[in-house]
Amino acid sequence: MTYTVDELVKMARALSEGEFDREFEQHFQGELGELASYLDAVRQTLQVISHAANGSYELIPAAADSVAEINQESESGFESIWQVVEEMQSDQAMARELLTSMGEQSKTGEVAKLREIAAKSQQTLLSLMSYLSFQDVLRQRLEKVQGLIGKMEQKTLDLMVKFNVKAHKESITGGNGAQLAPKVDLDQSLVDQLLEGLK
């Protein structure tokens, strides 16, 4: 059997179409054999890159979802604690009113003790409220992480489109027919490349 340059062209076309998993048969001698060998080395490298990109692309949305869940749970926790804070504020206001109504003349030991406890309780309430500011710091940090994840997703998608990774097409349309759109905003050049790749 004679192997022509056509076979090498087929190998190169397979690479351009994202066929990284199919091994090339090595039948060439001399310079053509060398070229075929280099093409196969490129295939193996692209195979590793495409598997890594595919794997990353599948993990990134899960990471983004986890971060969003943490943010939601933190907000939910804050709301629960804030309800308690508001109850404490209301109790504090009532205690202040009662102590005020007892008048400054009331100097019995018990009342003095009550004033002391009320003052301490107010400081505790102030501390509790201010420490809740951690939630805002957490929210801002998580938003930064979400931004970074979004950028990673975009770069990975760009890589997959550029390498015309076939598995990516399935992740877009979904095996069960459902649309699994990536959670990133695509720029026009990437949209055009995707449209081309999906044809």
Partner 1 sequence: MFNPDMDVLVVDDASAMRRIIRGLLKELGFKNIREAENGQLALDELKKKKSDFVVSDWNMPVMTGIELLRAIRADDALKSVPVLMVTAEAKQENIIEAVKAGVSNYIVKPFNAQTLQEKLNKIFP
- By CB under 8 A, name the binding residues for partner 1: 75, 78, 82, 85, 89, 92, 122-123, 125-127, 129-137, 139-141
Smallest distance from the beta carbon of 71 to partner 1, in angstroms?
A: 12
Residues 6+ apart with CB under 8 A from 165: 18, 50, 53, 54
User: Smallest distance, Å, CB 139 to partner 1?
Assistant: 7
Residue 147 C-beta: closest distance to partner 1, Å:
13
Minimum CB–partner distance for residue 141 and partner 1 (Å):
8
C-beta closer to partner 1: residue 75 or 116:
75
Closer CB to partner 1, 67 or 159, in the complex:
67
Q: How far, rounded to the nearest angstrom, does the alpha carbon of residue 81 sit from its chain's CA centroid?
A: 27
Q: Closest distance between partner 1 and the C-beta of residue 129, in Å?
A: 5
Smaller CB separation from partner 1, 10 or 120 = 120
Of 49 and 95, the one with the shorter C-beta distance to partner 1 is: 95
| For partner 1, the closer CB: 85 or 186 | 85
